[in-house]
């Protein structure tokens, strides 16, 4: 309560409910640490006084099978085949000055907008050598596009979720996006207040690496990260609520992080490998949108190479 400045100290009923959720979180965290330590560490955080259901409905999107989403990302492109042995062992775009500080989506299911903006900001900085901060709120308020996928509509719905490619398609149509300063984030749904005179020309196209033919090749993703920049991706976030540090490892069973049920959008900013406990583990470096107090200063690492949690099932990048 003190650490995260929780406001329910004088409300007995809410206090009792939150304390019950906290007790359940402690049990769940203990169980996760017994399974996955020492590679992954789980601990209490600002979400620990919430039920799992409340957390998911507040911060995540409705789970969807990436194969159902695939047609809405249009025709996926294949990257040139690269021998992964020729790639650097690690790359971290944070070290190149093209990644902004971690942002916080707040109590709004707008991760998709943060994934888009995070990818756009870094790609813009790589191309123009200028790191800007774009407006997530403009995307939340104004991107309402829908695409057809297996006879159902896939639409962007503000704080109730959306998908990165539909947002990028809308931004192309707007011919730009406003800055964070001109259209600040409020973490709630509002009317679209787009000002065409303040648009920053940016996105000209986007490319999907995953699609109707299946997940993206993680070797191709690694190659792209090495030479071209960050990737906008979605995954199953079931293990992120209690994540603290370390690499979410390859021994996670599919039922505990189902790769066919994705519900959270993030940005891959690099990759690496770590030798510990007698094992060489390859991983992705992933930027989240839950503030710097969560995870590894706002980031998490996920095992690279087996499509863990569906990390390679909804992959695209912005073209500036």
Would you please indicate which residues are annotated as catalytic (active-site) residues?
Answer: 111, 264, 288
CA distance 166 to 115: 12
DSSP 89-139: S-EEGGGGT--PPP-B--SS--HHHHHHHHHHHHHHHHHHS----B-HHHH
Alpha helix segments (H runs only) across 247-320: none
Task: Give ∠ CA 19-23-25 in degrees, rounded to 5.
Answer: 110
Give me 69's structure tokens: 């989403």
Read off the DSSP letter of residue 205. E
The count of other CB atoms within 10 Å of the CB of residue 44 is 15
Give me 217's structure tokens: 């090749």
Give me 151's structure tokens: 């006879």
Coil, strand or helix at 246: strand
How far does CA 177 lie from the centroid of its chain? 20
């Amino acid at each position: 309560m003190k650490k995260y400045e929780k406001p329910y100290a004088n409300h007995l009923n809410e206090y009792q409910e939150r304390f019950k959720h906290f007790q359940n979180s402690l049990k769940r965290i203990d169980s996760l640490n017994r399974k996955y330590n020492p590679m992954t560490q789980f601990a209490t955080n600002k979400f620990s006084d919430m039920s799992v259901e409340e957390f998911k409905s507040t911060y995540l999107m409705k789970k969807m099978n990436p194969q159902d989403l695939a047609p809405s990302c249009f025709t996926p492109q294949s990257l040139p085949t690269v021998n992964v042995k020729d790639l650097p062992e690690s790359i971290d775009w944070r070290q190149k000055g093209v990644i902004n500080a971690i942002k916080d989506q707040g109590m709004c299911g707008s991760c998709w907008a943060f994934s888009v903006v995070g990818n756009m900001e870094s790609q813009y900085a790589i191309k123009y050598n200028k790191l800007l901060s774009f407006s997530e709120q403009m995307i939340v308020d104004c991107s309402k596009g829908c695409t057809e996928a297996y006879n159902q509509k896939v639409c962007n719905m503000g704080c109730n979720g959306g998908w990165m490619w539909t947002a990028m398609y809308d931004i192309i149509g707007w011919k730009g996006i406003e800055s964070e300063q001109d259209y600040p984030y409020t973490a709630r749904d509002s009317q679209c207040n787009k000002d065409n005179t303040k648009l920053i020309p940016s996105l000209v196209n986007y490319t999907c690496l995953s699609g109707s033919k299946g997940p993206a090749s993680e070797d191709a993703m690694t190659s792209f990260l090495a030479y071209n920049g960050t990737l906008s991706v979605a995954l199953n976030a079931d293990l992120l609520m209690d994540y603290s540090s370390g690499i979410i490892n390859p021994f996670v069973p599919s039922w505990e992080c189902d790769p066919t049920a994705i519900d959270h959008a993030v940005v891959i900013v690099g990759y690496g490998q770590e030798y510990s406990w007698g094992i060489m583990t390859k991983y992705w470096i992933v930027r989240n949108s839950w503030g710097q107090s969560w995870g590894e200063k706002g980031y998490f690492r996920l095992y690279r190479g087996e499509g863990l949690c569906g990390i390679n099932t909804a992959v695209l990048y912005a073209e500036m």
